[in-house]
Structure 1
């Protein structure tokens, strides 16, 4: 039986860049727009874009509840920038009626590093990626959020200016920045490895 692909939520945002980054990291990646496509993937990337628009489209396309159900069931997911907001259990400054998928026990502040014209790039030391502290990740921050606080089960993988910008909780990963825009695919390789580990655990019946 072929290995299920990793999906990239293709409602809004930089879907194409994530698909290319996953392919470059050695993973088979496919776009996901419908609930039946979501059921066919082993993990999911939630791309950067506009979090309120992604949330509204997820509701419109009948994807919000299936997404929440798959996350609760243990599906690995990775969110970059707006995707980090979508995976947060709580937003500090949400727009009226803004929903998230949830899953990571964290509070996130939207646009924490500034607006579009205050976007920047920085070297980020990130645990878990190949090379670790000796080989920083190139972080592209575009209207980026940061993590205000985390629960006990959340591991901070990277900080910038004293704020967490990469976190992991079990099979869920999130970054404030956009590694898909840099040509450095180590974050995507990390996530692909998480998906593989999850499948191995499922196959062995481990809890």
Structure 2
């Protein structure tokens, strides 16, 4: 049984837990740094990236999260989670955890009242993936090693780099768990048999 954690400092934690429960994994709600040692993969939920970063600093998660990523352990970030993962942020000098070679613009689709849903074609998943966009970021640019998985109106909204997966939208807010299954498969593929 693989262990997948959901970083539970702020954001849509419960929704990710429910989405992961369908996939025969052990789910750990991560509130303490030492829980990272038990994990095979980790989800950064949607929420508010500035608040999440402040809590990451406050509770001593910053370097342990960078170390977790440096070990090649898979991380899946949705919306604010994708912002945490980007190596470059528009209008911000310092990135957050900075594990993916991508440039992200916060709130690029507009504020809360501009939230919307759209049907997406996501590489490796299907042409009928429902994306929920709430104050969503756009992935403006990606580096050479980053695979674009989905676009909406010509803008990148999902990408993968090695063990890291990021999307602008909230797959956890729909009944479609295929994005989570995709991540679970990534985690399983990263585990080296003893």
1:183 matched residue in structure 2: 175
Partner SS, residue 193 of structure 2: helix
Q: Is the 8 A contact 2:133 2:170 kept in 1?
A: yes
Q: Is the 8 A contact 1:127 1:157 kept in 2?
A: yes
1:147 matched residue in structure 2: 139
Q: Root-mean-square deviation (CA), in Å? A: 1.2
1:9 and 2:7 matched: yes
Q: Is the 8 A contact 2:2 2:188 kept in 1?
A: no
List aligned pairs for 1:1-207, cutoff 5 A. 3-94=1-92, 99-129=95-125, 132-133=126-127, 136-199=128-191, 202-203=192-193
Which segments of 5 or more consecutive residues in structure 2 lack a partner in the other structure? none
After superposing the two structures, state which structure 1 stretch, 113-122 or 31-40, moved more. 31-40
Measure the CA separation in 2 of the matches of 1:14 and 1:26.
20
Which segments of 5 or more consecutive residues in structure 1 lack a partner in the other structure? none
Q: TM-score, normalised by structure 2?
A: 0.96
Alpha-carbon distance, 1:27 to partner: 2.3
Alpha-carbon distance, 1:30 to partner: 1.4
Partner SS, residue 114 of structure 1: coil
Alpha-carbon distance, 1:98 to partner: 5.9
Q: TM-score, normalised by structure 1?
A: 0.91
Moved beyond 6 Å, runs of 4+: none
Alpha-carbon distance, 1:5 to partner: 1.0
Q: Is the 8 A contact 2:87 2:95 kept in 1?
A: no
The alignment of Structure 1 onto Structure 2 pairs a total of residues equal to 194
Measure the CA separation in 2 of the matches of 1:93 and 1:178.
23
